[in-house]
Amino acid sequence: MMQYRSRFIVALLLSGIGACSTLNYQQPITQFSQGVSDLNAAFNALKVTRDNAAINNLANSLKLQGTFLSLPTDCPITDNPPREAKPGDCSWSIHYPGGNKVAANVKNHEAQSLAFISALNAYGQGLVVISSAQDVAALKAAVAKAGSAISTVSSVAMPGSGTAVNIITTGFAWLFGEIADAERLKTLAAIVEQADPVIQKETSLLQKSAEHLQAEILNDQQYIIYSEMAQVTLLSKSNGSYSDINTAAQNVVNDAIAYDKTASNGIGGALVKMKSSHADLLKSLKKPDINFEDAISTASDFAAQASTLMTIEKGN
Amino acid sequence: MLSPDTIKSFQTQISKAEANLDVIDKKIQESIEKAQQAGDVDNVMKLSALGSELKALKNSLPTQDIVGDDAELERAAETLGKINTQMDSIMSKNNKTAALISNVSDLITNISGFISPTNPTDTEDSTDTADTTVPENSTQA
């Protein structure tokens, strides 16, 4: 908490030093980009958590029924650390007594959302490079990258819309060091302005997807806890050893803690802050003669919350 | 080439099945909580296992990757329609625990048969006996 407060204070101090300095607009852009990067990582981690919870839950239930689960050796979610499973590359089989077998799979309802947040991440990185490009070639490359990322965001969010983002790059013949900052700000404003409606409107896609993932994880975790609690009762009733009962009870406690972490996941809140941060960034870029105080404040707030998400996901 | 009507019919049944499975999942969880309160560990275990398996099967229902021809898809939609009828029956009754366990077990057999037609369980035959609900007063939770 102190760390975020410190970041905020630093942000406020910087906002007061030279309202139009390069640092001033770099700061909210860097923080926005960092926040999106953390969100992207948190979203992917949430999906891996869901896949693992689904497999653990199923394996647990099958064991209780005398059946077993077989996973292919190359199943990515059994890797340590687990990596993202793509549709179809991690199917498993449920083996029933008597040799019956049912193929199951990890469903990837989140493909669209993951593509969306990944493109937003690329967009954020593009803005950072634009804000710090040292020559025309680097700037052009960064503008192309950010423009392409926003086109991707747009087409992922609205398939078939054919929305294309065209950033005018013909004005880059100017020399760095002369009107560089003014031109850079204009370029940033043009890109952020084109991206903002998509981000404001389509972030709800990510919110729905995060809620869906969260509900699925909670459901699996709930079933795991039910059966673990029953194990504790069974062991107690059958005079199981203290050690066995203790281990079983500890499993319940650990999974109850994991359940609470999932339930308090704040991705939805961070996404709302991402929208405000981007809107304030646009406002500041369009009126750079005023200052970036609001943009810095909201970007700092967003980055802090997104950073917390990763702490929750890693269980630290 | 699959006709849009056939695809739509199939997707409607899939959506209905997913929604029904959510309702049945809630019913199972309610029964687990009742069984927990009653100290009925055996049924808590059985219901947890069935709930988990049903959820895994829900995740394995086909979505957009539709392959095959119109006739195949029509047969799939019809089979799924029967499974949905079976689920409607489970949802409409205030099942006692043992009845719920029996009905959900049958449902799992039919859904797994639908997902993996090579499974020796014959889906078409088993869904013909869609209403497998055990009489409500036959068992106690």
Of residues B97 and A151, more confidence is placed in: B97
Q: Region B2-22: what's the mean pLDDT?
A: 86
Whether the CA torsion A100, A56, A262, A275 is positive or negative: it is: negative
Residue pair B111/B53 in contact (Cβ under 8 Å)? The answer is no
Write down the mean pLDDT value for chain A.
72
Q: How many domains does chain A have?
A: 1
Nearest CA in chain B to A98: B120
Q: Using the beta-carbon criterion (under 8 Å), do B51 and A65 form an inter-chain contact?
A: no
Is some CB atom of chain B closer than 8 A to the CB atom of A106? yes
Of residues A18 and A59, more confidence is placed in: A59
Is some CB atom of chain B closer than 8 A to the CB atom of A251? no
Ordered strands of the A92-95 beta sheet = A68-70, A92-95, A101-104
- Tokens 């019956």 — which residue? A100
Which helix (DSSP H) or strand (DSSP E) does residue A63 occupy? helix A22-64
Reading the block at residue B109, the tokens are 């057999």
Is some CB atom of chain B closer than 8 A to the CB atom of A276? no
pLDDT value for B63: 59
* Pure H helices in chain B: 4-37, 41-59, 70-92, 97-115, 123-128
Rounded CA separation B104/B90 (Å)? 8
Rounded CA separation B10/B73 (Å)? 7
Least confident range of A3-12, A44-53, A205-214 = A3-12
Indicate the residue of A64, A109, A219 with minimum beta-carbon distance to B25: A219
Q: How many domains does chain B have?
A: 1
Q: Is the pLDDT of residue A288 over 70?
A: no
Indicate whether A229 belongs to any domain. Answer: yes
Q: What is the DSSP letter of A57?
A: H
Rounded CA separation A216/A54 (Å)? 8
Indicate the residue of A64, A109, A233 with minimum beta-carbon distance to B49: A64
Rounded CA separation A297/A302 (Å)? 9
pLDDT tens, A77-116?
444 444 443 434 445 454 444 444 444 555 566 777 888 8
pLDDT value for A21: 53
Indicate whether A144 belongs to any domain. Answer: yes
Rounded CA separation A14/A34 (Å)? 18
Of residues A216 and A102, more confidence is placed in: A216
Rounded CA separation A97/A100 (Å)? 7
Indicate whether A204 belongs to any domain. Answer: yes
Q: Using the beta-carbon criterion (under 8 Å), do B47 and A58 form an inter-chain contact?
A: no
Indicate whether A71 belongs to any domain. Answer: no
pLDDT value for A69: 54
A159: chain B residues, CB-CB within 8 Å: none
Taking CA atoms, A59 is separated from A69, A129, A227, B90, in Å, by 6, 46, 12, 25
Residue pair A62/A94 in contact (Cβ under 8 Å)? The answer is yes
Count CA atoms within 13 Å of residue A315 on its CB side: 9
Indicate the residue of A64, A104, A237 with minimum beta-carbon distance to B45: A64
Whether the CA torsion A217, A220, A226, A229 is positive or negative: it is: negative
Nearest CA in chain A to B31: A226
pLDDT value for A159: 54
B116: chain A residues, CB-CB within 8 Å: 101-103
Size of interface A-B (CB pairs under 8 A): 92
Indicate the residue of B41, B50, B116 with minimum beta-carbon distance to A103: B116
A226: chain B residues, CB-CB within 8 Å: 29, 32, 36, 44, 47-48, 51
Q: pLDDT > 90: what percent of chain A?
A: 11
Which helix (DSSP H) or strand (DSSP E) does residue A312 occupy? helix A293-314
Indicate whether A107 belongs to any domain. Answer: no
Domain that holds residue B78: 4-138
Indicate whether A285 belongs to any domain. Answer: yes
Q: Using the beta-carbon criterion (under 8 Å), do B56 and A57 form an inter-chain contact?
A: yes
Is some CB atom of chain B closer than 8 A to the CB atom of A219? yes
Confidence band of B136 (pLDDT split at 50, 70, 90): very low
pLDDT value for A240: 82
A105: chain B residues, CB-CB within 8 Å: 59-60
Confidence band of B129 (pLDDT split at 50, 70, 90): very low
Please choose, from the candidates A256, A268, A189, A262, the residue with its C-alpha nearest in 3D space to the C-alpha of residue A225.
Answer: A256
Rounded CA separation A237/B89 (Å)? 36
Domain that holds residue A151: 2-66+114-314
- Tokens 């909670």 — which residue? A218
A58: chain B residues, CB-CB within 8 Å: 52-53, 55-56
Q: What does B59-78 look like in DSSP terms, one character per residue?
A: HTS--S---S-HHHHHHHHH
Q: pLDDT > 90: what percent of chain B?
A: 28
Is some CB atom of chain B closer than 8 A to the CB atom of A101? yes
Residue pair B47/B91 in contact (Cβ under 8 Å)? The answer is no
Nearest CA in chain B to A237: B41
Taking CA atoms, A278 is separated from A28, A32, A204, A266, B36, in Å, by 9, 7, 15, 19, 49
Q: Using the beta-carbon criterion (under 8 Å), do B53 and A223 form an inter-chain contact?
A: no
Shortest distance between the Cα of A1 and any Cα of chain B, in A, equals: 38
Residue pair A304/A270 in contact (Cβ under 8 Å)? The answer is no
Indicate whether A247 belongs to any domain. Answer: yes
Is some CB atom of chain B closer than 8 A to the CB atom of A222? yes
Q: Region B98-113: what's the mean pLDDT?
A: 89
Confidence band of A11 (pLDDT split at 50, 70, 90): very low
Residue pair B114/B123 in contact (Cβ under 8 Å)? The answer is yes
Whether the ω angle into residue A81 lies within 30 degrees of 0, i.e. cis, is: yes
**Residue B121 identity:** T
Q: Using the beta-carbon criterion (under 8 Å), do B116 and A102 form an inter-chain contact?
A: yes
Confidence band of A129 (pLDDT split at 50, 70, 90): confident
Provide the 3-class DSSP secondary structure of residue A230.
Answer: helix
